[in-house]
Amino acid sequence: MEFHIDKLPLKSNYVILKDDCFNIIINGLLKKAGSTANASRITGISKSVIGRYVRKENVKIRIDSLIKICEAINISLEKIEKHIIWIGNVQSRGIIHPKLPFELNSRAATRVIAAICNDGWISDGMYYSNTSETLRESVRNDVQEVFGGDNRTVKLWIKETDQYLSFPSIIRDVFLIITEFKGIKSENNPEIPSFILNSTELMLGWIEQTIADEGHVKHYPGKFRREIVWRRSFKKDLSEYKLNRDEIKILKELGIKYDVKTNKEYMTKRGIKKVQMQIRISNRMNLQKLRSLIVIPDMKKDKIFADICTKYKRYRIPIQAKEAIIKLDMHQGFFTSKTLGACLPNKSIGAARYWIRYYLRDGFIYRVDESLYGSGIRGRKYAKYALSKP
């Protein structure tokens, strides 16, 4: 989804063009019109403003004026976008070297959108509050990747009771157009922007940012408890809880199993009844699948998630068994349940037999000969197995 400048509020946002581009369009307008008076008549821009452009007393061009000039000299606005070196409200810090048009069809853009939905708000400005320095920096980096600018584009505020980011008004204007996040989201009941739900890549961006902001990644090895949960509050009497509905759609589309429950009901200080809905993801294979799809942009939570999927004996044994089979086959040309068992952490022949049966069904290995109890042979002669030929 490309967001061009003509979708912005045209009379409150301005641009600065590269000098050569500025000269081309202003000289082109004067050449066509013959005078500033005619240029004013052709474009509908006041004569005094045209005069300031000609004298370069004002290099900030209001977007609606830029569109009128481009139409008058028959030049594509999209071509001009590539020569914009600043964009924003006339009194704001804006964005230097913006990446126009803004490409919102990216994972980074979706993470920013999700961040504002989760821990952000839109009022007179747009803000994101989170105590995690890693997460704040991740959001700033994503904003710069999507919108351009530099380290000063998104301002960091550190206060005694809060740490938050504030965004230029131009980015707020974009979000007011593509989202419904302004106001109290638990009452306004916004939905996830539809273009996100049409792309697997964007859906992954939404989930990884939501877990970072709202999620609890729980790992209690001694209790065999491994899960990811996140919760959202909604005004109880809403006909449906749209963010909850859309996140369930995403998980279904990704093939991730989940369960949903009402975590609690409560009354706000304003006397509004609300309900807190919880989405929970568990089961080791399910968590492994999710892990293969996302990286949580919070270092602490992502580390716990990695531990869930690697520091778990039952996760690791299949890998160790497969590696042992390959090594034994390379060195001996075959293996038995006894030799495989010796390579496993618990030295268990029973476990080796389990994985032999598993990989026989899988076609990864085949039986070379059967086990025997021959006459005069003390004990059992173990069956031999080898890797299947490609």
pLDDT 10s digits, 125-162: 999 999 999 999 999 999 999 999 999 999 999 887 88
Q: Which CATH superfamily is domain 102-187 in?
A: Homing endonucleases (3.10.28.10)
Whether residue 218 is predicted with pLDDT greater than 50 in this model: the reply is yes
Per-residue model confidence (pLDDT) at position 377: 42
CATH ID of 211-309, from 3.10.28.10, 3.30.450.40, 3.40.50.720, 3.90.1010.10? 3.10.28.10
- Where along the chain do the CATH 1.10.260.40 domains lie? 2-91
Least trusted range by pLDDT, from 70-84, 120-134, 299-313: 299-313
Binning pLDDT at 50, 70 and 90, where does residue 222 land? low
pLDDT 10s digits, 260-288: 999 999 999 999 999 999 999 998 889 99
Per-residue model confidence (pLDDT) at position 316: 55
Per-residue model confidence (pLDDT) at position 313: 53
Report, as an integer, the average pLDDT of 236-264.
Answer: 96
Burial class (CB in 10 A: 0-12, 13-18, 19+), 355: buried
- Where along the chain do the CATH 1.10.10 domains lie? 313-387
pLDDT 10s digits, 95-135: 999 999 999 999 999 999 999 999 999 998 999 999 999 99
Per-residue model confidence (pLDDT) at position 347: 75
Taking each helix axis as running N to C, give the angle between helix 169-178 and helix 107-119, from 0 to 180 degrees, rounded to the nearest 10: 90
**What are residue 226's DSSP bridge partners?**
219
With a pLDDT cut of 70, the percent of the chain lying above it is 94
Whether residue 378 is predicted with pLDDT greater than 50 in this model: the reply is no
- Where along the chain do the CATH 3.10.28.10 domains lie? 102-187, 211-309
| Distance, CA of 355 to CA of 323 (rounded, Å) | 12
- 166 membership: H or E segment, kind and range: strand 163-167
Q: E strands of 200-251, at which residues?
A: 215-220, 225-235
Domain 313-387 has CATH 1.10.10: yes
Report, as an integer, the average pLDDT of 29-39.
Answer: 94
Evaluate whether 182 touches 117 at the Cβ level (below 8 Å). no
Of the candidates 60, 49, 64, the one whose C-alpha atom is nearest the C-alpha of residue 84 is: 60
CATH architecture observed for domain 2-91 = Orthogonal Bundle (1.10)
Mean pLDDT of the chain: 91
* pTM as predicted: 0.78
